[in-house]
Structure 1
C-alpha cells in the first residue's frame, strides 16, 4: 500500500509544478517581463537499500518521473529481484524505453560508476551514513545535485505521565519492527526516572511478541536479519556493549533456529560513550537510559551525530512542543512513531542526510529553477 500511495501522490504533482511571474524590484516597471520556471534536472541515478526494496524503489522513481526526469535505479545487491520484477511491469505498462532503467550490481562497482558518470545530473541515495559520505564526495567532483537519506539513532522520550502499559509495547515496536533494520528505529529509549524500571520491564515483556520467526510464517511479527554479515555486525555491537559494562535484560542471543535470527535485545546501564549508544546498529537492539528533566533529556537526545527522527510520549502537549523544538531531528512524532506519509517531507539533520524526500520538497529536488528576464 505504501508503494502505491507514493506513486499516486507524486502523479498528482506532475501537473502542478508551475512557474511564477515576478515583478522585478530594481528594474523599470512595464519595461521588463520576468518569470521563474522549474525544469527537470535531467538524468537521475537512484541507489536504494535492501530493507524495503519495493517501497524504496517507488519512493525514488515517482518524484523523478513526475518532474520529467529519466532515471537509472540501482537496487541493493541483496534484493535486486524486486526491482527487476518491477521493471517487467514498467515495460508491460508501456513506458518508453530508456525512461526507467534498472542496473544491478555491487555498490562499489555499479553504484560508483553511476555516481561518477558524466551524463548523470542528480544522485539520490538511501543507506548508511558511511556510504552516503563517499557518494557525496564523488558527486561533488562534478557538482551533481544530491539527495541523501542516511542513518539514524532515534530517541524515544517517555515522560512520567504516560500509561506505561500502553507505551512500552509501542516503544518496543519502534525498534523491533523489521528486525530493527530501519533508519528511523527508536533505538534509544529515554524514560523518566520515576517510570524507568516499569518501562524496561514492559519493553522486555513485549519482546515475546517480536519473537523471530520465518518471514512467511503467518504468526511472524519479526523475521531474520538480511545476511550473515548483518548478523555478525549486530552481534558485534551487543558483545561490545557487554564488554563496556552494559547489562542485557532481554535477548542478546540467537534462537536455536537455522537462519540469521536474533532475539530482540534490551540493554541498560549504558553510557553515552558506548558504541551501542552512539552508533547505528541496524538491528533489534534497544538501549535504555533515565532522565529527570526536559533540559537533561533534550541534551542527551541530541548527543549524537545523527538527526533523522525522534518520538515523544506524553499527555503534556506543552512539554511535547517544547521538546520537539529542541530535538535536532528532521521528523518528530508525538505519541506515535514511524508514521510516514507521501505528502510530508522526510529527511535528516546533521549526518542523517542532505535534502528531503516526499512532499513538495521531494519533487522539487528533481528540478532546476530557471529565471527568464525579457526587455519589452
Structure 2
C-alpha cells in the first residue's frame, strides 16, 4: 500500500526529514479551494476509524511526525501524519487506513528480501511502487511483491493505462478494471458443439 513505505537505512533519516517537511507544508482545508491539498474525511464514521488507527498506533509505541490530531476547530479534518517506530503487526501496518497517514520504516537489515517479506505480510496490497537507481533491483523486487499492480520509478497515481488491468488483489479492491481482462467480467462464455 502507498501508506507503507520501506526506506533503505542509509537514506532513511534524510528521507524522513524531507517527507516530514512536505507533510507539514500540505494545506488541509476546503476541498474546493485551489490551494488545498486535502479535504475532510467523508463521514464521522471514517473520521473516527482513522483516529482510532492513530490512537492505536500511539498506544502501541508508534511516533507521529507531525500530526495525528484533528485539524481546525470543526469538520472531519485530520492532520497528515507519518508514523515511525512501528512494528510489523501493528494494526496501522497490517490494515488499510484510507486516511492521511503513512508508515515509514527503515530497512535496518539492508536486505531487500527482508523488505519483500514485510511488504507481503499483510492481507492487503492493491498496488505497490518501487524506487531505485538500479532498474534490475527494482524489477527483481517488483516481481516478488504480492500486489495487484507494481509501479517502478514513478508516481503511481499518474499511471493507470486503459490497456493494463488494475484492481483486486488479496483482500484489496473489488474485481479488476481496465484492459481486455476487465471486459471479460461483463460478458460470459457460451460454449456450443455441433455435429
**For this structure pair, what is the TM-score category when the shorter chain's length is used for normalisation?**
over 0.9
User: Cα 1:251–1:341, aligned 2, differ >3 Å: closer, same or farther?
Assistant: same
The alignment's TM-score, normalised by the length of structure 2, stands at: 0.93
2:120 to 302, 325, 341: 302
Aligned partner of 1:327 in structure 2 is 145
Aligned partner of 2:14 in structure 1 is 198
Q: In structure 2, how many angstroms separate the alpha carbons of the residues matched to 1:290 and 1:362? A: 37
Residue 273 of structure 1 deviates from its aligned partner by: 1.3
1:114-149 deviation line (CA, Å, top 9, x unaligned): xxxxxxxxxxxxxxxxxxxxxxxxxxxxxxxxxxxx
Aligned partner of 1:232 in structure 2 is 48
Determine if contact 1:342/1:359 at 8 Å carries over to the other structure: yes
Q: In structure 1, how many angstroms separate the alpha carbons of the residues matched to 2:96 and 2:162? A: 25
Q: In structure 1, how many angstroms separate the alpha carbons of the residues matched to 2:27 and 2:139? A: 35
Aligned partner of 1:270 in structure 2 is 86
Q: Does 1:208 align with 2:24?
A: yes
Q: Does 1:357 align with 2:177?
A: yes
Q: In structure 1, how many angstroms separate the alpha carbons of the residues matched to 2:170 and 2:18? A: 32
Aligned partner of 1:373 in structure 2 is 193
1:157-195 deviation line (CA, Å, top 9, x unaligned): xxxxxxxxxxxxxxxxxxxxxxxxxxxxx1101000011
Aligned partner of 1:256 in structure 2 is 72
Aligned partner of 1:313 in structure 2 is 131
Q: In structure 2, how many angstroms separate the alpha carbons of the residues matched to 1:300 and 1:204? A: 23
Structure 1: tracts of 5 or more residues without a match: 1-153, 155-185
Matched residue count: 191
Q: In structure 2, how many angstroms separate the alpha carbons of the residues matched to 1:193 and 1:212? A: 31
Residue 355 of structure 1 deviates from its aligned partner by: 4.2
Residue 353 of structure 1 deviates from its aligned partner by: 4.6
Determine if contact 1:211/1:263 at 8 Å carries over to the other structure: no
Q: In structure 2, how many angstroms separate the alpha carbons of the residues matched to 1:190 and 1:348? A: 22
Higher relative contact order (CA 8 A, sep 6+): 1
Task: Tell me which structure has the larger Cα radius of gyration.
Answer: 1
SS of equivalent to 2:82: strand
The alignment's TM-score, normalised by the length of structure 1, stands at: 0.49
Q: In structure 2, how many angstroms separate the alpha carbons of the residues matched to 1:230 and 1:350? A: 22
Q: In structure 2, how many angstroms separate the alpha carbons of the residues matched to 1:252 and 1:344? A: 36
Determine if contact 2:61/2:86 at 8 Å carries over to the other structure: yes
Residue 250 of structure 1 deviates from its aligned partner by: 1.1
Determine if contact 1:309/1:329 at 8 Å carries over to the other structure: yes
Determine if contact 1:228/1:260 at 8 Å carries over to the other structure: yes
SS of equivalent to 2:176: coil
Determine if contact 1:191/1:290 at 8 Å carries over to the other structure: yes
Moved >3 Å (runs of 4+): none
Structure 2: tracts of 5 or more residues without a match: none
SS of equivalent to 1:226: coil
